[in-house]
Amino acid sequence: MALQMVQKDLFSMCEAPKTTVTTKRQKPAFKEELKTDFTTSAKTAIFRNGPSAPIKTLIEKGLLGEGSALNYGKGKYDHDTNAIAKLTGHCVGYDYTYSPCTDVLGTSYDYLYSGYCVNTLPIEARQYVWAQMASCVRGIAFVAARTDGKNIHGTPSEDGVVTKIGTFQKAYQKNELKEEALEHFDYVVEIKGKSGFSIVACSHSELPEHILAHAKK
């Protein structure tokens, strides 16, 4: 019963987070049936001994600077959150299952990072998450997603698959993550990186030169 109450409070608060970012885009309304998608997505969280590959890429390229940061959809563990905090000076983590404190949402952050979150959600839930992330950042959002389709197996569903454990997984094709991000941000570039995942840098204003220098052509 306690868990049900927490989830109810979480999603009712998610319907209209406060924000200082203004955009022309309409945020999709939250629907009760999306709760199942978010809860199921949590099953994809895995243990790592340190920061994820996308975070290592951002660190190696020097794309994170000082400022406030949000790790959105952080999963069970804090390796990425801690790595971001070392560079920015401040980072809070949010996850609708493992760290459901909605007080951290609706704040305008200098940086937002989301790793392997959007690829675990069906279309409608994914669009809600993109819109929520867009409302939380005044600076730059870095969103990473899987591209390794040959390693994802399951029954076709929407634009991805449902795996044998019941989770949704999507492998993004070339330019697909960038095109999806442009539905919620005015400026988006894909960052050069390793195979298996894609990272896009997103902003409501023009991206700085040090970000553009690492963009894929």
For residue 2, pLDDT beyond 50 = no
Kindly list the domain boundaries of the chain, sorted by start residue: 33-212
> What's the confidence (pLDDT) of residue 23?
53
Tell me which of 86 and 101 has the higher pLDDT: 86
pLDDT score at 18: 40
pLDDT band, very low/low/confident/very high, at 128 (cuts 50, 70, 90): very high
Q: Report the largest interatomic distance among the alpha carbons of the chain, rounded to a whole angstrom.
A: 52
Average confidence (pLDDT) over 109-134: 96
Q: What is the mean pLDDT of the chain?
A: 87
For residue 135, is pLDDT > 90?
yes
Topology adopted by domain 33-212? Rossmann fold (3.40.50)
pLDDT of amino acid 22: 45
Q: What integer pLDDT is reported at residue 26 of this predicted model? A: 66
What average pLDDT score do residues 77-103 get? Answer: 93
Q: Between 1 and 171, name the one with better pLDDT.
A: 171
